[in-house]
Amino acid sequence: MDLSLNSDQIAILDALDSLSKPYAAVSLHETGFVLTDAGLDHALVEGGFLDVAFDPDLGIGTAAIIVERLARLPQATEAAFSAIVRPLLNDGVGTRLCIVEEGKTGRPLRFLAEGATVVVVGDRVTSFTASADHVRPEPEALFGYPVATLLSVPTERQAHDVSPEEFRTRWRIAFAAEAAGLLAAALESVCTYTAERHQFGRPLASFQGMRHRLAEAQVRTNGVYWLAMKAAATLDPSDAAMAAFHAQESARVVVYDFHQFLGGMGMTLEHPLHLWTYRLKLLTGELGGRGANALAAAEALWG
């Protein structure tokens, strides 16, 4: 399978990089646990970057590439669900989506707010627009995303003509692509720090033990990226489940290493590492976590 970028995808990424460059250069010190930017969100919608999957010539593969690149930014933006999952739903669904499994209210959801579209996945796929009665904001949450708790789900909801299995496949592709970008950004920030930080008269990154673990993190990051891109290209349930499982397993391993490599700095808000790793920690619980996605991959492959 050839997953090389075509000319359209290269042009779209160039345009996206030009748009996002001012946001990537924002001062990151003392930003708190969450960094968002309404201007960035508006620019992505106006530029049509979240609508590329509606074009059959671009498809989910291009959407996944966009999601991965946006996840590298320090700002958290709701791109994954809007770009990859939203094309499955009826027209008129907005670009701020939250997804919850049936019967699992009472937990924080990323990007949940009054006015957001909440998609409920169980034996069928339904949605509703969240009101103030459904939402409890969680401004002190430590997840790296703006989150709120979903208090209840109304009985009357809009039904969507899509199978839960197909929807979950897109869901897995969406968070695997986002995790790939988060891992890449976190790894880059760690490599920069350890190359500049000296200990015992030499850069931290020059010590063999650290270099081996950084190399393993790079291999895992690359693997998450390519598995996510493959799943986006094939839309195969087994590919999607494998991508999701590998993303969550890799995040579990490397997030620990990344913060350890930064020592005390990795436990402060003065370094931006937490903006990516704390988001990864939340993603490790998506769709039942590593065990559930590994089981889903096994069932898709061998029944």
Quick one: CA torsion of 298, 97, 49, 168, rounded to 10 degrees?
A: 10
Return the H-helix or E-strand segment holding 9: helix 7-24
Mean pLDDT of 47-66: 95
**Tokens read off for 119:** 């998609």
User: Over 90: is that where the pLDDT of 45 sits?
Assistant: yes
Q: What is the mean pLDDT of the chain?
A: 90
Cα 303 from Cα 299, distance rounded (Å): 4
User: Over 70: is that where the pLDDT of 271 sits?
Assistant: yes
Please report which confidence band the pLDDT of residue 270 belongs to, taking 50, 70 and 90 as the band edges.
Answer: confident
Please report which confidence band the pLDDT of residue 187 belongs to, taking 50, 70 and 90 as the band edges.
Answer: very high
pLDDT at 96: 85
Residue 55 falls in which region: left (phi positive, over 0), alpha (psi -120 to 50) or beta: beta
Contact present, 52 and 66 (Cβ < 8 Å): yes
User: Over 80: is that where the pLDDT of 3 sits?
Assistant: yes
Please report which confidence band the pLDDT of residue 272 belongs to, taking 50, 70 and 90 as the band edges.
Answer: confident
Residue 66 burial (CB count, 10 A): 25
3-state secondary structure (DSSP) of residue 102: coil
192 vs 198 pLDDT, higher one: 192
pLDDT at 27: 67
User: Over 70: is that where the pLDDT of 60 sits?
Assistant: yes
Quick one: CA torsion of 121, 54, 66, 175, rounded to 10 degrees?
A: 10
Mean pLDDT of 18-30: 80
Q: In percent, how much of the chain has pLDDT > 70?
A: 95
Strand partners, 97: 117
Residue carrying structure tokens 């592709």 = 173
User: Over 90: is that where the pLDDT of 198 sits?
Assistant: no
User: Over 90: is that where the pLDDT of 91 sits?
Assistant: no
Please report which confidence band the pLDDT of residue 234 belongs to, taking 50, 70 and 90 as the band edges.
Answer: very high
Cα 152 from Cα 105, distance rounded (Å): 6
CATH fold for the domain made of 164-302: Butyryl-CoA Dehydrogenase, subunit A; domain 3 (1.20.140)
User: Over 80: is that where the pLDDT of 131 sits?
Assistant: yes
pLDDT at 28: 65
Contact present, 110 and 128 (Cβ < 8 Å): no
Contact present, 96 and 87 (Cβ < 8 Å): no
Residue 115 falls in which region: left (phi positive, over 0), alpha (psi -120 to 50) or beta: left
For 71-209, strand residue ranges (E) read 97-101, 108-110, 117-121, 125-129, 135-137, 147-150, 158-160, 198-199, 202-203
pLDDT at 30: 61
Please report which confidence band the pLDDT of residue 86 belongs to, taking 50, 70 and 90 as the band edges.
Answer: very high
Greatest Cα pair distance in the chain:
66
Mean pLDDT of 122-129: 94
Cα 1 from Cα 54, distance rounded (Å): 23
User: Over 80: is that where the pLDDT of 301 sits?
Assistant: yes
Return the H-helix or E-strand segment holding 65: helix 59-71
CA 135 to chain CA mean position, Å: 22
Please report which confidence band the pLDDT of residue 206 belongs to, taking 50, 70 and 90 as the band edges.
Answer: low
Cα 252 from Cα 270, distance rounded (Å): 23
267 vs 300 pLDDT, higher one: 300
247 vs 213 pLDDT, higher one: 247
Please report which confidence band the pLDDT of residue 162 belongs to, taking 50, 70 and 90 as the band edges.
Answer: very high
Helices (H), 138-236: 164-196, 208-234
- What is the distance in angstroms between the CA of the first residue and the CA of the last residue of the chain? 24
Q: What is the pTM of this model?
A: 0.94
Contact present, 128 and 165 (Cβ < 8 Å): no
Cα 278 from Cα 282, distance rounded (Å): 7
User: Over 80: is that where the pLDDT of 141 sits?
Assistant: yes
